[in-house]
Amino acid sequence: MEFSINSLAPEKATGDSLVLTVSGNALPGAYAKLDAAIGGTISSLLAAGELAAKAGSVASSHATLAGRLVRLIIVQLGESIDAAAVRQAASGAARALLAAKGSSADIAAALPKGVAADELAAAFAQALVFESYRFDDFKSSPEPRSALARVNFSTGKKADAAALEAGVARGQALGQGMNLTRQLGNLPGNVCTPTFLAEEAVRLGKSHKLKVQVLDQPELEALGMGSFLSVAKGSVEPPKLIVLEYKGGKKGAKPIALVGKGITFDSGGISLKPGEGMDEMKYDMCGAATVLGTLQAAAALALPINIVGIIPTCENMPAGNANKPGDIVKSMAGLTIEVLNTDAEGRLILCDALTYAARFEPETVIDIATLTGACIIALGHVATGLYANDEALAAELLASADDTGDKAWRLPLWDDYQEQLKSNFADMGNIGGRPAGSVTAACFLARFTKDYRWAHLDIAGTAWKSGAAKGATGRPVPLLLDFLTRRAAVKKGKQ
């Protein structure tokens, strides 16, 4: 899908479809000439109440403009307009546009007070890219895709052109980053293996000029990653530690490290999961997919910041040589861990990756993991669980969650919960029992992050959807990209 910018008035639009934004049922002055040119169609639809008051509602009709038939798509911003309303309007318009038969469209946005041109353009571009995604790679007769190939943005003002261009670029990068994350998450486990993820990282490195290193089992053994390797040994698929470096910031500036859990299939190991719904355990690498999607978006926007992506990836399978409950393994940090449940494997691979992250002397480390079912019980499928050992970092992430609508909720890391991880036979157990399962998992990781500012995002409830809408969501790429953009802006201001 190609995007372009111009300053044409809406009555001079040339696309097969024309998207118009309104707030309430009043006809914006910017559309007065257009409405007159098409015989009052817009004002008639609004007066008749064809457009509901809820943000994101759509009314569609046909009109003759300059001698040709055009599909009108009128989308509601709502009376009380905020960022969430703009996103809802963009999503509604994108779905309507993609369902139309035309190959080209104009988005002629009347900007109400308080709505910036770049923010509206970013929302619409991101929604169009996001809504156009289909996962039909393995269907012999996939449904026909939308014919929409070209989209033009205009507010009718030359002064808005630069803002629109910046917004479109930001929206495209976010949408494409989310779609990469969704694509990797949706791929089946027999395709998206640790080796496949490593190859995808190399491809991303070549296309976006990232430094990529892939560490194989002998190198992981040399590093002393006994905890990570203990999970991998039950599978015939070899483990990988993928390291990507994006150097968009000042030379020598400390990077932000993103660490993503990459269990490409999680059977539970010897502590086998129930068969029902086990197919969804291909999504246990969505943390890894998030790192790749976020890095792609950051590189596409050329953010002036340094980022390191670290992805420990393997399968968790039952086998004669797999971890057994009661086994004791040694982490890269030198701490011993009693494996009380082999289905609590994510923390076993992440702890070694978090230890490895310290060698980059990061300013901040954020790990992203489909870590616990307990987080779903606590927060459902609405909010990502957020833990942090630094108050300012937690506040930054929550601000990005609020601004993007990629919701997160902070949970405690109090030392009181560390008591549940005590082991009679090792430095710690890998589970703390049923109470506060998501919290004790985060407390486990916290033991390996004492040397730097760190946050943990438990995305078990938000990385994918089940049921009829089954599929990866692309979260929390919006949250992380906003966080990185804010950090980059602060750094740029200091330089």
Active site residues: 273, 347
3-class secondary-structure state, position 313: strand
Closest CA to 242 of 220, 275, 226: 220
Cα distance between residue 256 and residue 258, in whole Å? 7
Handedness of CA 279, 285, 287, 293 (dihedral sign): negative
Cα distance between residue 344 and residue 445, in whole Å? 12
Instruction: Beginning with the edge strand found earlier in the chain, give each strand of the sheet holding 150-154 in spatial order.
Output: 2-5, 150-154, 104-108, 17-22, 68-76, 58-65
Cα distance between residue 330 and residue 311, in whole Å? 20
Side-chain-side CA neighbours of 28 within 13 Å: the count stands at: 22
Closest CA to 14 of 62, 65, 58: 65
DSSP state of 137: T
3-class secondary-structure state, position 326: coil
**Position of tokens 């914006």?**
28
User: Which residues face 346 on adjacent strands?
Assistant: none
Q: How far is CA 221 from its chain centroid?
A: 32
Closest CA to 188 of 256, 124, 264: 264
Cα distance between residue 50 and residue 252, in whole Å? 58
Cα distance between residue 298 and residue 301, in whole Å? 5
Going through 348-488 in order, the beta strands assigned E by DSSP cover 364-369, 384-388, 408-410, 428-429, 453-458, 464-465, 471-472
Q: Going by C-beta distance under 8 Å and a sequence separation of 6 or more, which residues neighbour residue 157? A: 7
Q: Cβ(97)–Cβ(21) under 8 Å?
A: no
* Helix 437-446 × helix 346-357 angle, to 10°: 30
| Region of residue 433 (phi > 0: left; psi between -120 and 50: alpha; otherwise: beta) | left
Q: Going by C-beta distance under 8 Å and a sequence separation of 6 or more, which residues neighbour residue 252? A: none
Residue type (1 letter), 360 = F
Closest CA to 41 of 67, 17, 65, 75: 65
Closest CA to 253 of 306, 297, 322, 200: 306
Q: Cβ(167)–Cβ(90) under 8 Å?
A: no
